[in-house]
Amino acid sequence: MKYTIINIPKITDIRGNLGVIEKDTIPFDIKRVYYLFDVPSSAYRGGHAHINQVEVLIALSGSFDVKVDDGTEVSLITLNKPDKGLMLNKGVWRELENFSSGAICLVLASDVFDESDYIRDFEVFKKRFS
50 carries an active-site annotation: no
Q: Are 55 and 88 in contact (CB under 8 A)?
A: yes
What's the gap between Cα 97 and its chain centre?
A: 12
Q: Which of 48, 67, 81, 84 is catalytic?
A: 48
DSSP states of 105-130 as a string?
EEEEESS---GGGEE--HHHHHHHH-
106 φψ region: left (φ > 0), alpha (ψ -120 to 50), beta (else): beta
Annotated catalytic residues are 48
